[in-house]
Structure 1
Amino acid sequence: MSAKVAVQYGHALRRSGAVFEAAQLYERAIKLRPGMAAAWLGLGIARKALGMRSAAIAAFVETLRLDPSIGNARAELVTYGARGEQGQLAGRKTSMADAVKGLTLSMREATQWRRELDDLSVFPPASYHDYRATLAVKAPVDVPASARQPLHILIQARGAPPSAIRGSLQSLLVQSSHDWVATVLVDDGVANHPVASLAHVEARIRFCATEQADAMDEGWTLLIDAGTLLHPLAVDWFSWTTSMDCVAAYCDHDRVERDWKHGPYYSDPILQPVYDRYWFDDPETTPAALLLRRFPAGNHMIAEYLAMAAKEGNVAHIPLPLASRSGQWRASALRAAMRVPDVYDGARICVIIPTRDNPALLKPCIDSLLRFADRPEQIDIKIVSNRTALPESKALLRELGRRNGTDIIDFDEPFNWSRANNIAARNCKADIFLFLNDDTEMLTQGWDGILTRLIARDDKIGAIGVRLHYPQGGIQHAGIMFGLDDSGPQHEGRWQESGFEGPAGRWSRTHASSAVTGAFMAMPRKMFDQLGGFDEQDFAIAYNDVDMCLRVREAGALVLYCPDIIMIHHESVSRGSNLSAEMVDWDQAELESLHHRWGTAIFLDPAYNPNFTKTGYPFDGYRQPSSQEVVEHVRRSATTEPWAVRRQH
């Protein structure tokens, strides 16, 4: 067999679902012709389908090395979250830019090249310093002077070294806006240190050894820790937000290492979401700069001030890295953010599982749920049997039905996921519903207690999703995000290694999400009843989970992603590669229904910072947001319900 025939046969096998055999044929072709780029590309796609992330990336990189013109290999790297592996393509970027500018291409070619140029304009995650060093932060839009408020900069410096205090004050002295005064809260001994001489050089600076300065509870206060360096336009932007309907505002930040000869080096960005108390329930994500309309009395840390402000009114987010932490000292790290004690109120959970002739996965699914539950006696299970036919399936259902609290519901209709779950929910009186795929397997001890405690302590929770892993390893779901490539909703974290935590550890932190998958979706019964269940008419197969999450947010509740619960999901890594044309058309039709109902809401994600790439793989690089994007984001964030959505039809 020649290398060319092996590749063609490999393509046929891969499309038919025989991915492992296809990979073997691609490897055989490569042995015959090591320089055959098509064989390397096919091998990369096959390895990706098998969950072999590192090996797949290596194959795509080799494809580009052999033939840089193969756009499919570059596209695979971008969609796979490996943008930084593309190599040096600056020459191609320049030639494409010139061609687009000169309109020397056909419209179709220009459109494709424009997209590639946008991709190449994104800085890979490892190149954050280059992105930050070239980021062109512009002054905010004009606001009448009467609408802007002067800022009182309060620098928490108790226990801080004088060098940290000096750094923060020097960053204030180069602000483009001069409408500020600064108070440095220090220990008694600092008043005699040379750093205190800056109060004699600049009249707007004063050092204060008391707990609070005069009139500190009046006007707008910008709170930072000593050692935090502000961008030269920081005061301008925070002053601009005082014209918003908000009681507080925060910005993005990073870490900076200063070198007198080579200049600053930026790293470890925290590109924040719209305000989410769960995201900020962690000292590591505490904003480096916080603007407050009213500064309450007390010796609190920034995280605590933010939590208190959020209870009083709207909190705005400025999606720009206007602050950089330097050095090792950090006052906010001395205390953890406030946490609500865990409570348990004896809530029952009803697990609803539609199934059809899948006994090899259904049994371990249910066994693992009960084995890892702290209170299995508090769990009801409703198995919706959709025209089960295999003898072994019927035997398993009879066996499972003998357990007290487990019911088998006959669903003798054409399959409709939404209807199957709604029918089961009508026959369950539990406090919490858990809608679950039959191809999942629980890995977390005490998962039931985690769910009930979350829901019991926060009546704003409308739905909860969890972290799902592929059986071969790697993340399959870490929440659902909107707005990338102007395409439909997609899973966060897909194909990443199981131990990878994502940007700022987001895939290992509980936080609000735009949506979560119906493969595991827990809901308080009262929320499910309030919304009238899943939509059986427009979303029989796909996007019923996303539509439900949007309706939860429309009702003013939160959709929560909880990585403390981990399950295996036996969904194929190559899902979509073997779909028939009819299945694709059906999926597109239900996506159209989702768009018709929700409009632009399915392109806006409150958790997705506009500094992240808008093309390719979520969070896989940084791009310069336009001034309009920044302003629109700030305005949306400074609303009463920044996570709420409105339907279009």
Structure 2
Amino acid sequence: MGDAARDRQDWQDAITNYGLALVLAPTNLPIRIQLGHVLKEAGRWSEAEAAYRLACAADPADAELRLHLGHVLKMQQRREEAIEIYLEALDIDPSLIIARNELIAMGGRDFLPKGQYGRPAISASLGRISGLLDQNLDAIREWLTVSTYPVEAYHNFRSTFPVQPPPAAAGSSLVVLIDAVDVDPDLLRLSLNSLLDQRDSNWTAVIRASANLHEHPVASYACQDSRITFISDDAKEPWPTQGPDLMLLTEAGCSLDCEAVGWLRYASERTGADVIYADHDHHTYDWRRGATYSRPALHAMPDIHDQTNTPDPPLSLLVRTVAHPLMVTFGAAAGSEWRRSILVNALASGLIVAHLPRILSSKRISDTATMVHAPSTRKSTRCTDSNERILVIIPTRDQADILMSCLDSLKEKLSNPQAVDVLVIDHRSTEADALNLLSERVLSGDIEVMKVDEPFNWGRFNNLAATRQNHDIFVFANNDIEFLTQGWDDVVRSSLADEAVGIIGARLLYPDRTIQHAGIAMGINQGRPVHEGVGADMASGGPMNRWCRPRQASAVTGALMAIKRSIFEAVEGFDERLAVAYNDIDLCLRIREAGFRVLYEPRLEAIHHESKTRGHNVDDARVAWDDGELADMYDKWGEAMLHEPGKNPHWVSVGSRAHDGYRDLSMSQILHHLDRSALINPWVIRQEKTKME
């Protein structure tokens, strides 16, 4: 009777009959397992968990039982326990692919036991690619999964995939400039040896060194090889006569990959860029075991904000000598800051800057060296008008408690209250507390209220509000926002004072102080846009501290965003056809299409009591609506919905995590990224609007 009820999906009847069967046969394991299954289907997860745990105790060697137990723990949002159970299942049966994939989907790639990634797993997967077409396709998908390396296995990834040679390039004259002022001789020796090992040997080198190095044995490299020249540390011009076509700037302690010169020369020839930067990492060294690689600096496409405050400026930088006067002299700053200033000046001057997604260099660090990522403390030096008027627009409906918190925090954190007005859009509030709050705040002069009595449409409501008053800046905020930044209005004015910036978005935290939004990345979760950093501790900086630094983003959330009125009107505001979701992303894409930057600004910080306003898309109707608006977005924007210029292609995305592990790149992937990056502004949406076949 239980089986019959299960087959017709009458879960309650099945639960009753399997329970009665167990009364008669309490040690019958298959019946207990079936009871767990139907309890799970009925949504009675804690009872299903109990049934599966008893079954696991009765059969400790059954991996699939632990898989089912892991599923119900995951459904109860008990991530750590679910990961532990999935690992137990893999210990019992390492070939249980579902358990491995569940671990990866839950962000547990770093917990994978050895053998589930890297060479052993790749070999095992390739051995399974045989048989029927469907079997082959499954095996290929599996191979792609296991060839992705977890974040903690970066050294294994780096060691497994050496840099492949570039296509052939012409022989433009190239000088390698090595800054070796005030460094230990062994670091310069490391760099010179890596230079001598280059497969492309068509180079000369100029070493700017302190006086003590000129008399050290390391200077004998210049005697052994006529391509190497030492100059004094006070030299401004690296050569007395006509310079070369190309200069490769680096520093002592940098070990260049043997393909570095060849790749950079080829990238210059292919793109015609004035400046090219590549990726790098760091390493410690043991004379017996060799190098141990860590801390990859995997850069995004060219972005002046990102390069101004990145903790890891490019270690190898190729420049054309005719590009800019700053590039043919040594700057006052040395090392990484010298290269940073050249790169930032090139971006500010509108020169063509390209990013080559190849790990071409590695910086030697000591065994005890650590990298501490702290929020950026760089302050804007732009002149701002503290009297620029800001209008904060807040749609609301009832929920007096969260609206009061929003209004109070907004006012308390202002630097110039006289220049900030608040307009609350009241959408059919009926609760007495909410109506009393709105009335009191209007009488006190804190806010104005605009009543809207029509079906919900977030974009339309904000468009209506934006026509009401004459302000320089609009701040769109949800009613469940709690402002944290003291002087947030100054941050908004300062960030928008940059004429290139069209809109800024905030760093948002959940009430438990984990990250809710650190910019939006496109094309991540099965092609969907996702918030970066979701669930990470607020102290976590993310890769290269990106969640704590101002940088360009593909889009930012409308839960808290600020935009210049002139730009909002120029792009004609929000698209009112997108009534619920994606209207904020659509606005950001249109701003990028118009040539302006979308800036993620972590100095603007707030708590977002997400789900108190509209809730999550948990029922079929909401999911269908969300998918419909997403389809409209893809029809409108095409490939721009899938292309993320802020993500280095080495990073693998899984679920909502944009930085879940590492992958090697094919030649076509490398060149596709390189060519896109060499556009005058790779963040501007151009031909991406064409849909992919």
Q: One fold, TM greater than 0.5?
A: yes
The 3 A distance-change label for structure 1 pair 6 and 432 is: farther
- CA deviation vs aligned residue, 1:226-276 (integer Å, no higher than 9, x gap): 111100010011111222232111110100212221111111100001111
1:465 — aligned with what? 505
Give the drift of 1:488: 1.2
User: So what's the TM-score if we normalise by structure 1?
Assistant: 0.89
Further displaced range: 359-368 or 291-300: 291-300
- Within 1, Cα distance between the matches of 2:139 and 2:399? 46
Q: Does structure 2 retain, via aligned residues, the 8 Å contact 1:443–1:566? A: yes
How many Å apart are 1:627 and its aligned residue? 0.9
Tell me the CA shift for residue 323 of structure 1: 0.8
548-557 vs 439-448, greater mean Cα deviation: 439-448
- SS, match of residue 621 in structure 1: strand
Could you tell me which of 419, 423, 430 is aligned with 1:378?
Answer: 419
Mapped to 1, the partners of 2:471 and 2:494 lie a distance apart of 15
Correspondence 1:529 to 2:578: no
Residue 292 of structure 1 aligns with which residue? 319
Q: Is the 8 A contact 1:222 1:291 kept in 2?
A: yes
Question: Which is bigger in relative contact order (C-alpha 8 A, separation at least 6)?
Answer: 1
2:258 to 232, 235, 238: 232
The aligned counterpart of 2:27 is none
Aligned residue identity for 1:536: E
2:240 maps to 1:211 = no
How far apart are 1:196 and its partner, in Å? 0.8
Instruction: Report how far residue 364 of structure 1 moved.
Output: 1.0
After TM superposition, give the deviation of residue 450 of structure 1 in Å: 1.5
After TM superposition, the structure 1 stretch with the greater mean CA deviation from structure 2, 419-428 or 469-478, is 469-478
Displacement after TM superposition at 1:12 (Å)? 4.5
Match of 2:7 in 1: none
Structure 2: stretches of 5+ with no match in the other structure: 1-14, 20-31, 58-64, 322-326
Q: Secondary structure at the match of 2:658?
A: coil
Maintained 8 Å contact 1:436/1:518: yes
Task: Please say if 1:87 is aligned against 2:87.
Answer: no
For the pair 1:102 / 2:144, whether they are aligned, the reply is no
SS in 2 for 1:482: strand
Letter in 1 for 2:71: L
Aligned partner of 1:180 among 203, 208, 217: 203
Matches within 5 A, 1:548-559: 548-559=587-598
Residues 56-455 of structure 1: pairs in structure 2 closer than 5 A: 57-58=83-84, 60-62=86-88, 64=90, 74-90=100-116, 94-99=123-128, 101-104=129-132, 107=134, 110-143=136-169, 145=170, 148-209=171-232, 210-214=235-239, 215=241, 218-243=244-269, 244-282=271-309, 284-294=311-321, 295-297=327-329, 298-300=331-333, 301-312=338-349, 313-327=351-365, 340-341=380-381, 343-346=383-386, 347-455=388-496
In structure 2, C-alpha distance between the alignment counterparts of 1:56 and 1:426, rounded to whole Å: 51
Deviation at 1:471, TM superposition (A): 2.1
Map of 1:589-600 to 2, 5 A cutoff?
A: 589-600=628-639
Deviations 1:73-109 (A, max 9, x none): 544432333212233454776554333x2134x62x5
- Asked whether the 8 Å contact 1:176–1:233 carries over to 2, the reply is yes
Is residue 2:86 matched to residue 1:45? no
C-alpha contact 1:30 1:40 (8 A) present in aligned 2: no
Matched, 1:623 2:650: no
Change (3 A) 1:368 1:594: same
Question: Counterpart of 1:136 in structure 2: which amino acid?
Answer: P
2 CA distance for matches of 1:86 and 1:308? 44
Matches within 5 A, 1:603-642: 603-616=642-655, 617-642=657-682
Deviates more, 1:200-209 or 1:241-250: 241-250
- Check 1:509–1:435 CA distance in 2 against 1; reply closer, same or farther (3 A cut): same
Structure 2 contact 237–328 (Cα < 8 Å) conserved? no
Distance 1:45 1:629, change over 3 A: same
TM-superposed deviation, 1:506: 1.2
Q: Secondary structure at the match of 1:402?
A: helix
Deviation at 1:155, TM superposition (A): 0.5
Structure 1 residues 395 and 358 mapped into 2: Cα distance closer, same or farther (>3 Å)? same
Q: CA deviation at 1:339?
A: 6.7
Which structure has the larger Rg? 2
Instruction: Give the Cα–Cα distance (whole angstroms) in 2 for the partners of residues 590 and 618 of structure 1.
Output: 22
Deviations 1:119-159 (A, max 9, x none): 2211000000011111232222344x2xx522110001111
Deviations 1:155-196 (A, max 9, x none): 011111111111111100010111110000012232211111
CA–CA separation in structure 2 for the residues paired with 1:238 and 1:194: 30
- Work out the CA distance in 1 between the residues paired with 2:494 and 2:297: 28
Once the two structures are superposed, the pairs formed by residues 552-591 of structure 1 within 5 Å of their partners are: 552-572=591-611, 579-591=618-630
* Contact kept? 1:351, 1:380, Cα under 8 Å: yes
Provide Cα deviations, 1:298-349, integer angstroms capped at 9, x if missing partner: 434111111122233011111111011114699xx9xx99975254412222
Quick check: 1:41–1:73 contact (8 Å CA) kept in 2?
no
Distance 1:378 1:239, change over 3 A: same
Q: Percent identity?
A: 35
1:502 corresponds to 2:542: yes
Higher mean displacement: 337-346 or 298-307: 337-346
Task: Report the CA distance between 1:564 and its aligned residue.
Answer: 2.1
> 206-215 or 3-12: which moved more?
3-12
Q: How far does residue 207 in structure 1 lie from its aligned partner after superposition?
A: 0.5
Does structure 2 retain, via aligned residues, the 8 Å contact 1:255–1:267?
yes
Amino acid at match of 2:362: S
| Structure 1 range deviating more: 626-635 or 465-474 | 465-474
CA gap of 1:404–1:418, structure 2 versus 1, over 3 A, is: same
How much has 1:63 moved relative to structure 2?
Answer: 5.8
SS of 2:528 mapped into structure 1: coil
- Aligned letter for 2:406? C
Q: Is the 8 A contact 1:154 1:224 kept in 2?
A: yes
State the Cα distance separating 1:495 from its structure 2 match: 2.1
Q: 1:401 to 1:116 in 2, by over 3 A?
A: farther
User: How big is the alpha-carbon RMSD for the aligned residues of Structure 1 and Structure 2?
Assistant: 2.9
Change in 2 beyond 3 A, CA 1:473/1:239: same
The structure-2 alpha-carbon separation of the partners of 1:627 and 1:485, relative to structure 1 and needing over 3 Å to count, comes to: farther
Q: 1:576: Cα distance to partner?
A: 8.6
Q: Residues 653 and 661 of structure 2 are in contact (CA less than 8 Å); yes or no, is this contact kept in structure 1? A: no
For 1:163, the aligned partner's letter is: D
Match for 2:278: what amino acid? C
Q: Which runs of 4+ in 1 moved over 6 A?
A: 1-4, 66-70, 336-339
